[in-house]
Chain A
Amino acid sequence: MTSGNALGDGRSLRTWVAALLALGLLAGSGCVSRHGRPAAVAVSPGGFTADVTLDSGWDLTGELLSVDPSGAYLLTARTSVSRVEWDEVSRIRIPDGDLSWRPSLPADPAELDDLRGYTRFPPGLSDQQVEALLRHHGQSEPWRASHGNPPSALPDTVGREAGAGTHARAGYPLADVEGLGGGGSDLVAAASRAAVRFASLDEAMLSGYRAIGPDLPGAGRHWVNAYLLMRGGLNPETPPFLTYVETPSGPELVGVALGRVLLGGESSADLPVAGAWHQHSGTVEEELLALDPSPEAGPSSHDMDEHAPGEGDREPRLTMLHIWTVASPEGPFALDNWALPFRRIGLPPPPSPDAARGRAAYLASGGQVYYRDLIAGLVSLEPKEVEAVDKALSRAGQDVRRWAEAVRRGGGVPSSDALVRLDDVWATLWRRIEDAVPSRAWAVIASLAS
C-alpha cells in the first residue's frame, strides 16, 4: 500500500470515514423508518452488522458498507468485500437496528433510504472508492454469489453434541461469530460497534451486565453478562464483558472482552488472535492480584494462554481476550492498557506509557485505595506500618494530582521532563513504603514498585 493511498493509512481512513459519516448523518436525517420506529443512523465509523440470506441458501454476516438501487456492499470475515444484488437476496436482517427487510424489485427508494442509515457509507460508494476498499483488503474484485460457495467458516459448535434432529447452534454457538475468522481488524471493528451501543453504563445495566471486581489500573472495571458468557461469549458485537473507567466526565467504555469457559482438556488454540488470550481460574480476589502481575502477587492463574492443553489446562477456567476500543499503546488485544490511568484524569497518554508510569498516574484517581488493598492482601502489617503505608500513598496521590494539574496548565501533554517528575513520585512512594515495612514484607511487595 502506498503512502499516498487514502485507505492505506489508518488515520487517513478514519478521517475519510468521518467525512463520509458527516455526510451520512445529513443524508440519513430525512429517512422514513419502517416498523414505526425512528430512522436509524449509523453513529459510529462502522456500519451495522447485517445478516444477509441469499436465494441460493447461503448466509453472509458482515458490516453493511453501502446500498444502492441494485444491491449492497458488505464486508464479511469469510468473503471480505462482497457484493450482493437485490434480486438474489431473500432477506437482510440487522439485529442491532431491529430491522428485517425483504427487498422488493425494483427496490423501494424509501426503503433504501431507511437502509442507508445502517451503512458505513450512507451516500454510497463510487467506483474509485470500491477499488480502494478492494486494494485495502487484497482483492481484485468483490466476492459475488456467482463466484461460488464462501470459504469454510469456523466449526459451528464445540463441546456437547446437540440432540438428535437439532442443528448444532445450541450450546456453544460459533455460527454467529463470523467476524472471528477474519483476524484482528474485524474483531476491533465489531467491538467498536458494541462500544457505541454500550457507551452509556445505564444501557449496559439495562442489558444485563453487572460489575465484577474492582477497577484495575491497566484494565479498568469489568462488567459481565453471565448469560452471554454461558452462551459462548465469542461475539464481539454482543460481548460478555464490557470495560469502563471512571473519568472526569463520568464512566467511559474503553473496551470489551470475549470469554469462553474451558473445561479440562479444552484449549483456546482454535480461537482467533492466537497468543492474546489470558486465563482466570482462582478466586476473583486472587485473579485481581494477578491482574496487576508480579511474581509474588498471588497465584499465576492469570496466565497468557499457551494455546495447547497442558498441565494447567486440566482445571476448568475462563479464557479471555481484551479488545480495547480506545487507544492502547500495546495494541487492541493487550492484556493491559497503560493509557487508561491518564485517560482517567483527563490527560492524553504519553507516547509510550509503560506500566510503571501508568501505575503512578493511577494514584491520582483510584490508586491509593487500590494499592493499599493490594498490599493488605499480600502481607500482614502492624497498625503503625499500615498507617505509614497509607500516609505514603496519600502523599504520592497528592503529588500526582499536583503533577497532573501542572501538566494541564502546560498544555495537557506530559513532556519528557514531566514524565521524569512522575517517575520520581513513583520511586519516592516505594522508598517510603520500603522504609515503613519490615524487610520480610518488602521482599513480597517490592515488585509492585517496578
Chain B
Amino acid sequence: MDDKPAIEINGLTKSYGRTGVLRGLDLKLDWGEVITILGSNGSGKTTLINIIGSLTKPDSGTVEFGGIGVRARATSIRRFIGVVTHEHLLYEHLTGYENLRFHADLFGISSADERIIIVARQLGVEARLNQLVGTLSHGTQKRIAIARALLHDPPLLIMDEPESGLDQEAQGMLDGVIRQLAESGCTVLTTTHNLDKGTAMSRRIAILREGRIVYDEDLKSSTGADGVKKAYASHSGESM
C-alpha cells in the first residue's frame, strides 16, 4: 500500500441531473503531502470530498487510496480516512464527549477515553466536552467536528473549507494541527475558496474550475503565492 500514492484519481466525472459537476478530474497525492484545492462556489470541491470519502458514487472514473479502489472496499477504507465537512456531523442533543465516544465505538477504537482526551486537548476543547453540542458556539462545534475526524488517527484527512466559522485564534490552531499531522506523515487534503487561507495552509495548491484541475503547483517550485493568485484570477475570472 505504501508504494502506491495516498490518493490517485483518474477521469472522475459526476453530474447532478444535467449539471456536470466533475468533468474528468485527475489528481495524485503522495503520502504525507498537504494539498489545498482552491475553487469558487459550485466548482465541485464538496462533491470531490464526498467521493473521496465514499459518500457519493462517481458516474465514472476511479479513486484509489493506497492503490485500493475506494468504491470497491469502501467500508474498510473509511477506517483510514477522516472527513471534516461544512456541517459538524454531530448530535446536538449529546455532549461533545458522548459524540466522540459514539464515533470511537463506531471506529472500534480501543482505549477510547485516552484518545478522546488527546484530540480534545489538541483542538482546545477539553473543557467543553461535557456540554451539549447544541449549546456550543459554531467555532467550538467545528473544533469538536475536527476532533471527531482525527479520533481514529487517520492517515488521510480531508477537510472541506475547514476555516469557515473559526475565529482567528482557532484558525491559527488549525494551521498548527495541519502542520503537526503533515510532520507525522498524515496526508491532508483541504478545500477552500479563500485564496490567502489556501496559500497559508499548504505548499501544494491546485485550482478546481468547472470540474477539472486547471492548475496544480508546489509553491516552492513555482512562482509562489503571487503566481497562484494570478493563476486563480485568470482561471476564475475574478479580479485580484
Q: Do A and B come from one complex?
A: no
